[in-house]
Chains A and B, each alone.
Chain A
Amino acid sequence: MSTEHPASLWDGLVTAAVIGTDRRSFAGTEATGQLGDILNGVRERGLLATAAVLWAYREAGREVPATGPRSYEAAPPDDRALFTPGAVRALTVILEDRKFRPLLDEWLALAVQAGGRLPGEAAPKLLDAVRGEQCPPAAAAVGPLAAWLGARNPNWAWAHEDAVAGWRTEAEVPMGLDDLKEPWARGSDFERLAMFRALRAAAPAVALELLATSWGSEPSTTRAAFVSAMARGLGPDDEGFLEAVLDDNRKDVRAAAAALLTRLPASRRAARMQLLALPLVVVAGRLRPVLQVGAPPALDDAIKRDGVDPGRQNRDDPLWLTRQLVAGTPLSAWPKSLGRGPRDLVGLALAAGAVGLLEGWADAAEAQSDATWARALLDAGHGPTTGLFASLGPDDAEAAAVAALEEATAGQIGAIVASIPAPWSAAVTLAGLEAMARIIGQVDTRPLPGFRDLLSHLALVIDPAESGPIAAFISAPEKIAEKHASLRIYWAAPLASFAAIASFRSSLHKEFQ
């Protein structure tokens, strides 16, 4: 008679079943007490009957041992109010529906502005979805839980490292460079980069000094990211470092440095570009002045070092070379050299069809944030770009955007809509809707290629509070239908997707109010 534990009784039964009762006949399972009595009662009925009893005995009598209370490392408390269920639902729709995916940035911006907290269960999908610039606002919306989750899931480690680095930076900026050197040296690539970004905003010079201590040993993969991160807080003090980086052995690192140097008109690179670019342009004739652009110099190693590239297929395209040289030249040099103001010069260049020169000026106006040149180019009808609008002050930008929209033709509207920085003000929204309605009314055809995307983009940038004009705009196909019933179907889908996005954004904004 054994007094075995039910678990070992069961194991014995399993062994017997695996071997088979033909080979070794089943003699019953012995146990003591009440279980023994029951098992004796079913012995005659065989192995399976015994197993059924023992199975039920074990499963029904299952215990989960208590090992005593444990302590957990919980996420730090977050006292902020939860976002509304509607706001959380909207996020789910954005993450799951490709059509609404472009609204993720807007959701994040609204969330950060509202300052609430995302319910924990919605966090994993958001942390999975965000990339690059979206990470900091996503981590802010999730709150301290983001870092807690980041410590547990390698895919979200950025949330942990960002939080660690961010905390450290905030706490240590008041201290001197020497206090930062140790955490800098100890940090991972990711942590150093996060620390650098945070420091550039607060103390760009300290950040640069810190970077200089490790620059020689930074891996090639992160060097370009460090240089690009210098865009924040960029100033004349950065010129020396960037100039030296032009000799880096990696092309992407050199290109990143050259791009930043175009924004520093007092740099040595700018002086070199100026030296090459100014002689290319001459204005001849006093009564009827004519602008002429000469052939750019052949590329040599010195020019290549400045990040000037031969263009597609290494063709040394003269227009492309001119554009790059002009883009790197301080805009203030042109009136001095040619004795005319920006407006005159843009007019003359347009008359001469000097495309390379005009594009170069536009690039320079963007890089140097020069409102006068941007204004001159836009007024002269130069194709608008996001950068040109951004170079104008906010009021001027709005006026310029409205003006561009009012005069837009069906062929231009796409580029104009794409170039006006989002989000649009009420005035720009109205002008944009009017322009689109006008063009739709004019074309009397199927939507031109690209109109579908254009309408989707428009829905993403307009001010969703302008519900009246938006509703009026959506009814545009009815007007077309009055004239050409067969066209209605072609317009219905693009306008409906516009309406879907616009109405979604309108309710999204309301959820965060």
Chain B
Amino acid sequence: MGRPTAEQVKGLAADDGSLRAANQLAGPAPWSELGHDDRAAWGACRGSAKAPYFVVVDMSGPAYRCSCPSRKFPCKHALALLLLWSRGAPEVVEATPPAEAAAWLASRAAKAPQPGAPQPGTADEREAAAPSDYDVPPDAGGASQRQRAVVDPQAATVRAAQRAERIAVGMAELERWLSDLVAIGLAQAQGRPFSYWDAMAARLVDAQAPAAATQVRRLPGVVRSGDGWPSRLLGHISRLHLLASGWSRYERLPEAQKADLRTAAGWPWPSEQVLAGPKEHDRWYVLARSETEEERVTALRTWLWGIETNRLALVLDFARPGASPAWELWPGNVIDAAVARFPGTAQLRVIVAERSGEAEVGGAPPAWADLGQVVRARGEALASDPWTERWPVSVASVVPERLGDNWAVTDRDGRYIALATDDAVGWRLLASAGGRPVGLLAEWVGESLVPLGAWTDGGMVVL
């Protein structure tokens, strides 16, 4: 905890817009009553309203509170406050929190879950919202369930059975719909209006399978994705078919595969259930972080590599109250932690259950030696869970290149993989290497390799 770096603050911004807005405010001019202690920072920012907005950031979350009406999270005032502090502005003095901040901080401290000891009173689907691979925001059904404070085990079992049944019905419909699609021929798919796809997606939402719905909503985009779209579309719908047909046999499948189906459908796991499972203790190297805009929220993925066990892990967070990533999960850091894995065969996603000690700055990241090994490791994950959509990449020694208008990396044996990235990131990567081998941290998403970081002679570079 303590003073964040500017990069860390940037990592917290919901989008570029809020960061730009925050930059405008990140001078001492509009601020008063600025201060910080070891846990929090606060200040009053003059905005368009008569009274200044009062903002508090709790670094232990981090969590934010601001009196402004913004629906962005964190709002520009919180970001500006952090930026100001990160630059070491002398106006942010060490102090005791004013009453308004102190009350909120105290209430947060009281609510904070005890690590490793889930409390029976908390709502059943808190925080553990989305599945690892088919990213969806916390599902719609969760909102009402979150209201039920006390869990009755029997009622929970009944509810689970009902939900499985509802999903199975939706999946049966999806299976028929997919068969029709192939019967008529994919050539016809091109002329379909958006409502054709959206209606199916809406039915899956009704069936409480939001992740499957998200996949269906992506199909019209695949149809319009240019040359070779039929092949890509067939890849997508064949996996949807696998999911739908799997649900017809759901009850008869082994637990791990049931879990994969549940996750791929978008039925979230209660964090209590995940935390009740076995813990995996290790020193975790933070490889990289990636961020995507989902419907309504920002999904933030942090990829970890267990130094002792060589197992991979994914921490998935959503930019909503209390769920932002911890500072320590910054690429290049090593944390000592026990994690609990979500159920499933590939089991990438985890919850950090217990942390001990401060994060350390690690050396060179653990990595695969060449691109061949990367591809094989991803292949193994896909073989056990074909819905694995994202796969972390850490490869020791590759040379980034620009080939025509495209970006690529080549390993020491001449294996070559194209990168999917914009030019700003591409040039940064190229310049960080200067034609020499670097470590590449990336995320394999669908058909593309998206660069997220580089390990250079100057240390970890976050792209």
Interface residues of A (CB under 8 A from B): 10-11, 13-14, 17-23, 45-49, 51-52, 54-56, 59-70, 72-75, 82, 89, 92-93, 96-97, 99, 119-124, 145, 148-149, 152-153, 492-493, 496-497, 499-500, 503-504, 507
Residue of A nearest to B237 (CB): A48
Checking A73, A124, A493 against B29 with a beta-carbon cut-off of 8 angstroms, the contacting residue is: A493
Chain A nearest CB from B193 CB (Å) reads: 19
Whether, in the assembled complex, B254 has its beta carbon less than 8 Å from a beta carbon of chain A, the answer is: no
- With A45-B245, A51-B234 known as contacts, the answer to whether A145 contacts B431 (CB < 8 A) is yes
A-B pairs with beta carbons under 8 Å apart, 5 shown = A49-B241, A52-B242, A56-B382, A74-B435, A493-B29
**Residue ID in chain A nearest B240 by CB atoms:** A48
Contact B29 A21 (CB under 8 A): no
Least CB distance from B350 to A in Å reads 23
The stretch from B85-93, B135-143, B272-280 touching chain A is B85-93
Point out the residues of chain B lying under 8 angstroms from A504, CB to CB: 87
Q: Which residue of B lies closest to A23 (CB)?
A: B185
Assembly CA distance A47 to B461 (angstroms):
46
Do the beta carbons of B382 and A63 come within 8 Å of each other? no
Closest 3 interchain pairs by CB?
A20-B185, A74-B435, A51-B238
- Which residues of A lie under 8 Å from residue B184 when comparing CB positions? 20, 22
Cα–Cα, bound, A75→B378 (Å): 33
- Which residue of the partner chain A has the closest CB to B373? A64
The reply to whether A18 and B185 contact each other, CB–CB distance below 8 Å, is: yes
Taking a contact as CB atoms under 8 Å apart, the answer to whether A153 and B6 are in contact is no
A357 to B178, CA, bound (A): 90
Q: Would A64 and B461 be within 8 Å (CB), given that A17-B230, A123-B431, A500-B89 are in contact?
A: no
CB-CB under 8 A from A152, the residues of chain B are 402, 430
A56 & B386 in contact (Cβ 8 Å cutoff)? yes
A61 to B381, CA, bound (A): 11
Q: Are B88 and A66 in contact (CB under 8 A)?
A: no
B28 touches A500 (CB 8 A): yes
Q: Kindly state the separation between the CA atoms of A268 and B391 in the bound complex, as whole angstroms.
A: 76
Q: How far is B237's CA from A46's CA once the two chains are assembled, in angstroms?
A: 13
Chain A residues lying within 8 Å of B401, measured Cβ to Cβ, are: 72
Q: Report if B235 contacts A (CB, 8 A).
A: yes
Contact with A along B240-255 (1 / 0, CB 8 A): 0110010000000000
Contact between B415 and A20 (Cβ–Cβ < 8 Å)? no
Complex Cα spacing A70 to B397, Å: 13
Tell me which residues across on chain B come within 8 A of A153, comparing CB atoms: 427
Which among B379, B414, B429 is the interface contact of A69 at CB below 8 angstroms?
A: B414
Q: Which residues of B contact A92 (CB under 8 A)?
A: 6
State whether A148 touches B434 (Cβ < 8 A).
Answer: yes
Known contacts: A18-B185, A59-B382. The answer to whether A120 contacts B231 by CB under 8 A is no
Q: Which residues of A contact B5 (CB under 8 A)?
A: 89
| Chain A CB within 8 A of B428 CB | yes
Contact B188 A20 (CB under 8 A): yes
Q: Binding site of A, secondary structure by majority: helix, strand, loop or mixed?
A: helix
Which chain A residue has the least Cβ–Cβ distance from B435? A74
B340 beta carbon closer than 8 Å to chain A: no
Complex formed: what's the CA distance from A55 to B386 in Å? 9
Known: A49-B241, A67-B414, A69-B414. A74 touches B87 (CB 8 A): no
Residues of B within 8 A of A503 (CB): 89-90
CB contact under 8 A between A121 and B375, given known A14-B231, A52-B386? no
Q: How many Å lie between the Cα of A504 and that of B268 in the bound state?
A: 47
Whether the Cβ atoms of B28 and A55 lie closer than 8 Å is no
CA separation between A180 and B237, bound complex, in Å? 68
Is B372 a contact of A66 with CB atoms below 8 Å?
yes
Complex contact A17–B178 (CB within 8 A): no
Residues of B within 8 A of A13 (CB): 234
Say which size band chain B's interface belongs to: 35 or more
Most chain B beta carbons < 10 A, residue from A19, A20, A93: A20
Which residues of B have CB within 8 Å of A73?
435
User: How far is the CB of A120 from the nearest CB of chain B, in Å?
Assistant: 4
Chain B residue at minimal CB-CB distance from A506: B90
Instruction: Say yes or no: B375 contacts A62, CB within 8 Å.
Output: yes
Q: Which of A23, A121, A497, A507 is B461 in contact with, Cβ under 8 Å?
A: A121
Assess the A56–B433 pair: CB atoms within 8 A. no
Check: B47 CB closer than 8 A to any chain A CB. Answer: no
- If A48-B237, A75-B434 touch, whether A64 touches B182 (CB-CB below 8 Å) is no
Contacts of A507 in B (CB 8 A): 87-88
What are the residues of chain B within 8 A of A493 when measuring CB–CB? 29-30
Most buried by A among B6, B402, B454: B6
Partner of A496, one of B27, B458, B463: B27
Min C-beta distance of B86 to chain A, whole Å:
8
A497 to B31, CA, bound (A): 11
Contact A97:B235 (CB < 8 A) given known A48-B179, A55-B386: no
Report whether A60 and B382 are in contact in the complex, using a CB–CB cutoff of 8 Å: yes
CB distance from B330 to the nearest CB of A (A): 13
Which residues of chain B from 166 to 183 have any CB-CB distance to chain A below 8 Å in the complex? Answer: 178-179, 182-183
The answer on a CB contact under 8 Å between A46 and B372 is: no
Residues on B with C-beta less than 8 A from A82 are 458
Task: Report chain B residues within 8 Å CB of A72.
Answer: 399, 401, 435-436
Query: Contact at A120–B27, with CB atoms within 8 Å?
Result: no
A62: chain B residues within 8 A (beta carbon): 375, 378-379
How many whole Å from B241's CB to the nearest CB in chain A?
A: 4
Query: Is B234 touching A17 in the complex (CB atoms < 8 A)?
Result: yes
Which of A66, A99, A121, A492 contacts B431 (CB under 8 A)?
Answer: A121
A69–B412 CB distance below 8 A: yes
Nearest A residue to B384 by beta-carbon distance? A60
B371 within 8 A of A: yes
Q: How far is the CA of A400 from the CA of B7 in the complex (A)?
A: 45
The answer to whether B75 has its CB under 8 Å from any CB of chain A is no
Q: How far is the CA of A121 from the CA of B234 in the complex (A)?
A: 39
User: Hey, which chain B residues are within 8 Å of A75, CB to CB?
Assistant: 434-436
**CB distance A60 to B187 under 8 Å?**
no
Instruction: Check: B23 CB closer than 8 A to any chain A CB.
Output: yes
Q: Give the Cβ gap from A52 to chain B, nearest Cβ, in Å.
A: 4
Docked complex Cα distance between A153 and B426 (Å): 12
Which residues from A are CB-within-8-Å of B241?
48-49, 51-52
Tell me the nearest residue of chain B to A48, going by C-beta. B241
Asked if B239 and A65 make an inter-chain contact with CB atoms under 8 angstroms apart, the answer reads: no
Q: Within 8 Å of chain A (Cβ to Cβ): is B308?
A: no
B53 within 8 A of A: no
**Beta-carbon nearest neighbor of A99 in chain B:** B27
Q: Give CA–CA (A20, B183) in the complex, Å.
A: 5
**Shortest Cβ gap from A15 to chain B (Å):** 8
